[in-house]
């Protein structure tokens, strides 16, 4: 008979990590990463890792997620069987509303334990591996565009061919100038996209969006605030360039409404929005049923959440436009994994080891921890 496991202890850390440069967005600037790392240990000595990486202007705060985890979510899992992942997720959803990032962290840690106990990677717990590598997209968001051009040159030399320009944090002319410079410099050797992070009002958006049609973009992401579904649907209807919903679609319910209203041609999947990998697969299933594409999005994350996202990417039946798990490799000054998160030649490689398939560097984790909350 298989060995039984029980969750014995939990630890929640708020971690702050320096980044290589400030990134600007339609919703504000980011100058460091504050994230929450969860560590669950079983009575059989297996440790599972998870990450809740919120963004205050998008999903929530690190402090709120750390409290949700340490006071409401993890205490209810102590003594539980980690294989009861769906039962424990439902329980977490009943115990505390919102905090999808905290629930993603719980699920990731449970899946990491399950995978390690069985000796299989997380994507095998989700139905298997449709792909073992995914094209990487890097986000250009430096207010100093000359630095971004130099960075694009460097990364293109590394094999990165997809760039997402963060737009809407300065004026329209600045966005057009940057796209023109990139097209002049690289022609069609780059796959270009833009992301407004909700940065325009509906009345100003349409004439500006029409100006972008000539740049042959793969998509325009979240031009207006998340609740303006009617404007999103209108842009999807009248523009040739595909529209992607990010902030407008967190979970299955929002995906269902978004599909009914046809608010986008593509949904950005993020485990931090959906509340975990299994919930993200549900969002992807709704998208697929509606003929809407999916893309691998992320928040400001370490290699732990990237690894969880990579297993999700592997398990998706369809994935259309790559993923953006570039933070650990190209944005953090140093990550907290023992081995670098696997990005090679412009592709994210899906880890194949048991569980997440990555190991945490405890000394580096400790060095960047600003608060520890122990749960017995």
Alpha-carbon span 188 to 154, nearest angstrom? 17
CB-nearest residue to Mg ion = 246
Which regions of 133-187 does DSSP assign to beta strands (E)? 133-135, 137-140, 162-166
Taking the least distance from each CB to Mg ion, the nearer of 51 and 247 is: 247
Determine whether 324 is an active site residue: yes
In sign, the C-alpha dihedral spanning 239, 244, 250, 253 is positive
Q: Which of 103, 151, 164, 368 is catalytic?
A: 164
Residue 221 bears catalytic tag: yes
Give 89 or 249: the residue with its C-beta nearer to Mg ion.
Answer: 249
Helix (H, G, I), strand (E, B), or coil: what is residue 7? Answer: strand
Q: Is 158 a catalytic residue?
A: no
Marked catalytic residue, from 166, 273, 306, 368: 166
CB atoms within 10 A of CB 45: 8
User: Looking at beta carbons only, is 39 or 265 nearer to Mg ion?
Assistant: 265
Closest Cα to residue 178, out of 188, 197, 164, 160?
Answer: 164
Catalytic entry in 270, 306, 311, 368: 270
As a whole number of Å, the CA-based R_g of the chain is: 20
Q: Nearest distance from residue 195's CB to Mg ion, in Å?
A: 5
Tally the C-alpha atoms within 13 A of residue 228's C-alpha that lie toward its C-beta: 17
CB of 274 to Mg ion, least distance (A): 14
- Is 273 an active-site residue? no
Catalytic residue of the set 23, 123, 234, 273:
23
CB of 224 to Mg ion, least distance (A): 13
CB of 198 to Mg ion, least distance (A): 9
Q: Which is nearer to Mg ion, 107 or 195 (CB)?
A: 195
Contact at 8 Å (CB) between 337 and 328?
yes
- Residues lying near Mg ion in the complex (CB under 5 A): 195, 221, 246
Catalytic residues: 23, 164, 166, 195, 221, 246, 270, 324
């Amino acid at each position: 008979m298989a060995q039984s496991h029980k969750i014995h202890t939990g630890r929640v850390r708020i971690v702050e990590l320096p980044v290589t440069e400030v990134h600007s967005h339609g919703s504000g600037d980011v100058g460091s990463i504050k994230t929450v790392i969860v560590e669950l240990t079983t009575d059989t000595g297996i440790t599972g890792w998870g990450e809740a990486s919120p963004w205050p202007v998008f999903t929530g705060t690190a402090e709120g997620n750390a409290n949700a985890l340490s006071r409401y979510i993890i205490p209810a899992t102590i003594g539980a069987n980690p294989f009861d992942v769906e039962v424990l997720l439902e329980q977490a959803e009943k115990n505390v509303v919102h905090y999808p990032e905290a629930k993603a962290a719980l699920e990731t840690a449970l899946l990491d334990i399950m995978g390690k106990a069985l000796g299989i990677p997380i994507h095998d717990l989700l139905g298997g591996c449709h792909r073992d590598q995914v094209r990487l997209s890097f986000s250009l968001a430096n207010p100093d565009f000359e630095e971004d051009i130099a960075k694009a040159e460097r990364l293109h030399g590394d094999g990165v061919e997809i760039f997402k320009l963060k737009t809407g944090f300065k004026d329209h002319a600045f966005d057009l100038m940057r796209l023109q410079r990139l097209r002049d410099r690289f022609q069609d050797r780059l796959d270009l996209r833009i992301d407004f992070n909700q940065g325009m009002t509906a009345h100003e958006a349409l004439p500006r969006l029409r100006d972008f049609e000539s740049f042959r973009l793969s998509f325009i992401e979240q031009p207006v605030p998340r609740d303006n579904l009617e404007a999103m649907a209108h842009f999807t209807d009248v523009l040739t360039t595909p529209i992607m919903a990010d902030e407008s679609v967190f979970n299955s319910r929002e995906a269902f409404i978004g599909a009914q209203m046809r608010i986008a041609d593509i949904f950005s999947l993020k485990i931090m929005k959906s509340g975990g990998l299994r919930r993200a697969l549900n969002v992807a299933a709704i998208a697929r049923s509606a003929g809407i594409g999916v893309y691998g999005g992320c928040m400001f994350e370490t290699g732990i959440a990237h690894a969880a996202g990579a297993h999700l990417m592997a398990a998706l039946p369809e994935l259309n436009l790559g993923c953006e798990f570039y933070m650990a490799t190209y944005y953090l000054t140093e990550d907290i994994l023992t081995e670098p998160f696997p990005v090679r030649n412009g592709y994210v490689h899906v880890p194949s080891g048991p569980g997440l398939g990555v190991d945490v560097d405890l000394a580096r984790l400790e060095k960047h921890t600003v608060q520890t909350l122990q749960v017995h």
